[in-house]
Structure 1
C-alpha cells in the first residue's frame, strides 16, 4: 500500500498490514452473523470463541505453563501500577522495585499509595541510561514482590536477562516488549502488558498471573480492581473490550505465521542492529542515549551532536512520511519505536534518511 506511513510511534503503534486488511474484510459483518463483532453480545457463542481462542494462542506463543491465569482487563499498565499493590501488597510487607526510568517511577509512586515500598536498585544517578546489573539488586527475602519494568519506552533501555528471585514473587511490566523475544514465564509471578505496542490496539491489557497469588485482597478493594474477580469469570465479569481482544488474536496469528517469539526476536534484532549501526557509525553526528549493554530492541533513543538540528530532523522526517520520531517530552531527543509490526523496510528508509540528513547538515 503506497500511502502507508513509516510508523515509529511509541504506542498506539504499528500494526501488521495483513492484520488490518483481514479485520477490514470482517469489520461490517463477522462470521455471517449479520452484524459487526463490535455490535454483538460478549455472552454469545461467536464472541466467546474469539475470546478463548485469543487466550489459547497467547498461551501457546508464550509457552505459559499450567498454574497461570490469563486475564483481559482494561485501564492499561497505569491501572496495573495500582492493581498489583492492591492485590499483592498486604500490610506489614514491603514491595521492592528496580528504578530504571519513567515507567518504573510511575509504578513506584502508585504503589506508595497502598503500602510500604523499597528500592532494590536504581540507575537514576546514571540518568536511567542503563539497567542495573542483577548483582546490584538488594531486596529482603520476605518482600511481597520484586517489580521490574522490562523495557523503558522513554529511555530506550531493556533487561537483557531477568533475575531469579527464588521465593520472592517477580512482577514485571512487559508493556513495550511482550512477545518481542522468547521468555521463561515460569520465572514470573505476574506479568502485565498494555496491548497497544506489540499485541494490538489500545483498549485491552494482558495480565498473566500465577494462580496461587489470586486471592481476596487483604485490604478493601473495589470489585473491578481485584484479580480474583476477573479470574473467576474468565475476564467476562463485565463487558470486555471485545474488538481489541479480537485484534490481539489476529496479531497473535500473524506472530505465529512469522515464526512465533523466536521469529519476532530475529526480526527485531535485525532492525535494531541496522539502526544502532547507523547511529554508532555517524562519527558523533548521532549519539545513542542508552548504554550499549542496556539498549532496547524495541525503542531506539538517540540525540544529534548538534541539538539545534533536532527540530529540523523531526520536521523533515514528517514531510517524508516518518511518524513518531520526536523523543518523549520528558527527555527530549529522538526515538524510533521498532515494535514487532514495524517492517524492516521502514528501518531501512529511516537509516537512508539519517544518512542523507547528515550529509546535508554535517
Structure 2
C-alpha cells in the first residue's frame, strides 16, 4: 500500500512539472522584428511631427493673409471716410460756386441791359454827343474799357463754368472710387470667410495629428516645465505685474516676466490687447510696456532693432519664422531653447521650442 502511494505521488509530481510553462529566451529573429518595429514607429512618429509642423505653417500663413486683408480693409475704410469727407466739402464748394455764378450772371445782365439797351446805336450816340476831340477820345477809351470789362466778365463766367464742370466730374470720379472700394472690400470679406473655413479644417487636422506624437509629450513637457520654473524664478525677482504707466525698467528677464503674464491669452486676428493677440500684436504690446515702439506687423518688426545670431540669443530677443526670408510668425525668446508667442487661430499664448526648420533670424530691440 505504501509502495502504491509513493508511486502515485511521484507520478503526480512528474505530471505537474511537465505541465508547468517554460519561458524561453527571445530568439534573434524576434529581437530583429522588435527593432524593425521600433524603427518603423520612430519613422511614423517623425512623419507625424513633420505633417503637424507643415499644417501649423499653413495655418500661420493663412493667419498672415487674413491679417493683411484686415489691415487692407481698415486702410480702405479710412480712405472711404476721407473720400466721403471730400465729397461733402466738394458739394459745399459746388453750391457756393453756383451761387457766385448766378450772381455774376445777374450783374452781367444788368450791365448789358444798361449799355446795350439801344443796340449798337448807343455807342454812336455816346460818340456823337461828345464835346470836342478830347472828349471824343475820352469817350472812346471809356467804351473800350467797358467792352474789355464785358469780355473779362464773360471769360470769368466761362472759367467758372469750366471749374464747375470739373468739380462735378471730380465728384463723379470720387463716387466711382467709393463704389469700387466698397466692391473691393466685399470681395476681401468673401476671401476672408473662405480662408476661415480652410483654416477650420486645418485646425481639426492639427488636433488629429497631435495624438500621433503623444510619445514625445513627456520629453517636451519636461523641458517646458523647466522653462516655466525658470520664468517663475525671474518673476519672483521682478516687480508684480501692473498696467504700464510710463516705461518699466528694461532687461531681457523683465521682458520675459512681463510677457508670461499673458500665457493662455487667445489668438485673435489683428489682436493687439490682452483680450486677444496675433503674433506681432503680442510682441508689440509687451515692448510698449517698456517704452519701446515696434512696428505693427512681422514685416515691420523684422526691421526693428539689430540682428543677432542664434549663438548670441538672449531672453527678450525677437525671433522670426517663415520661408524665403518672408516672415510669417514671430515671438520672444525666453531662454532654454524656448520662446513665448501667440501661435495661430484656435490656440493661445504659450511657450514652445524655438528651434524650427523655418527659422529666419532674430532681432534685439532692447535699449
- Higher gyration radius (CA): 2
Larger helix proportion, structure 1 or 2?
2
Quickly name the TM-score band, shorter chain normalised.
under 0.3
TM score, norm. by length of structure 1? 0.24
TM score, norm. by length of structure 2? 0.23
